[in-house]
Chains A and B, each alone.
Chain A
Amino acid sequence: MTTKKKYPEKWTELNPGCMVFEAGSAKAHKTGSWKAQHPVWDNRKCIKCGVCYIYCPEACVSRTEEGYYAADLEYCKGCGICAHECWPGAIEMKEEEV
Chain B
Amino acid sequence: MNIQEYISSGVLELYICGALTEEESKEVSTELKKHPEIEKEVEEIENSLDQLSSSVAPYNPTKLFAIIKNKLHLEDNPKTIPIHREKKKTNIVLYLGWAASIALLIGLFSVLNDRNQLRENLNVVNAQKSQMEQQINDTKASAEKKEELLAIFRDKNIVTVPLDGQEVAPEAYATVHWDQETKKVYIDAKNLPTPPEGKEYQVWSLTLEPLTPTSIGMLSSFTEDENKIFMLENNNLSQAFGITLEPKGGSKTPTMEQLYTLGMVKNS
Q: Do A and B bind each other?
A: no
